[in-house]
Amino acid sequence: MPSSIMIPEDIPFRGYQLKALGSFITTDPEISQSNLFISGYSGTGKTHVLKKFFELNSEHLVYAFLNPVELVSWKPLFQAVARVIQSTLNARDDSASTSMDPLRVEEPYHLVNFVEHTFKTHSTAKGSITFYLVLDGFDSLQDVDFQLLLKFLKINELITQGDLKIIYTVQDPSFLQKYASFSIPKIVFPRYNQTEINKVLQTAKVDDLSNSTVFHEKLNSFDNGTISTEICKNFVYNFINLIVQTFHSYTGNNIFALSDLIDLKWPSYLTYTNENNFFDPIALYKSSLPLFLRTDDGLQDDSLKSVQLSGSKNTDQTYELSTIAKYLLISAYFCSYLEPKYDLSIFSKKSYIKAGRSAYGRRKRAKTNPRHLQPSLFAIERLLAIFQSIFPSDELLSTNEVGSLSSLLDEEVLIRANVEVFQNLAELNSLKLIMTTNIKNIDFLSYKMKWKVNVPWEIIVEIADSINFDISQYFSFVDE
Amino acid at 124: T
DSSP assignment of 101-149 equals -GGG--SHHHHHHHHHHHHHHH-BTTB--EEEEEEETGGGSBT--HHHH
Task: Name the band, by pLDDT with cuts 50, 70 and 90, for residue 2.
Answer: very low
Residues 6+ apart with CB under 8 A from 197: 244, 248, 253, 255, 258
pLDDT at 263 over 90: yes
Mean pLDDT of 413-431: 74
Looking at the DSSP bridge assignments, the partners of residue 188 are: 39
Q: Which residue has the higher pLDDT, 252 or 17?
A: 17
- For residue 70, what is the DSSP state? G
Position 223 scores a pLDDT of 86
Residue 244 has pLDDT above 70, yes or no: yes
Sequence letter at residue 253 = N
Distance CA 201, CA 377 (A): 43
Beta carbons within 8 Å of 430's beta carbon, 6+ residues apart: none
E-strand stretches of 246-373 = none
The pLDDT of 378-388, averaged and rounded, is 90
Side-chain-side CA neighbours of residue 142 (13 Å): 13
Greatest mean pLDDT range, 100-109, 336-345, 368-377: 100-109
Radius of gyration of the chain measured on its C-alpha atoms: 29
pLDDT band at residue 464 under the 50/70/90 scheme: very high
Q: Is the pLDDT of residue 48 over 90?
A: yes
Average pLDDT, the chain: 83
In this prediction, residue 219 carries a pLDDT of 93
Domain boundaries, the chain: 15-188, 194-300, 315-347+367-392+414-479
Q: For position 463, what pLDDT does the model report?
A: 92
Per CATH, the number for 315-347+367-392+414-479 is 1.10.10
Query: What is the CATH class of 15-188?
Result: alpha beta
**Which pLDDT belongs to residue 400?**
47
pLDDT 10s digits, 172-198: 888 998 898 999 999 999 999 999 999
pLDDT at residue 224 in the model: 82
C-beta of residue 270 within 8 angstroms of C-beta of residue 216: no
Q: Which tens digits make up the pLDDT trace of 275-315?
A: 999 999 999 999 999 999 887 765 444 444 444 444 444 44
Q: How confident is the model at residue 330 (pLDDT cuts 50, 70, 90)?
A: very high
pLDDT at 416 over 90: no
Q: What is the pLDDT of residue 96?
A: 65
455: exposed, middle or buried (Cβ count in 10 Å: 0-12, 13-18, 19+): buried
Q: What percent of the chain has pLDDT over 70?
A: 80
The string of pLDDT tens digits covering residues 51-75 is 999 999 999 999 999 998 778 667 7
pLDDT range class, residue 332, cuts 50, 70, 90: very high
Q: State mean pLDDT over 21-49.
A: 93
Q: How confident is the model at residue 418 (pLDDT cuts 50, 70, 90)?
A: low
Instruction: Judge whether 15-188 and 315-347+367-392+414-479 match in fold.
Output: no
Q: What is the pLDDT of residue 225?
A: 80
Of 219, 213, 209, nearest to 239 by C-alpha is 209
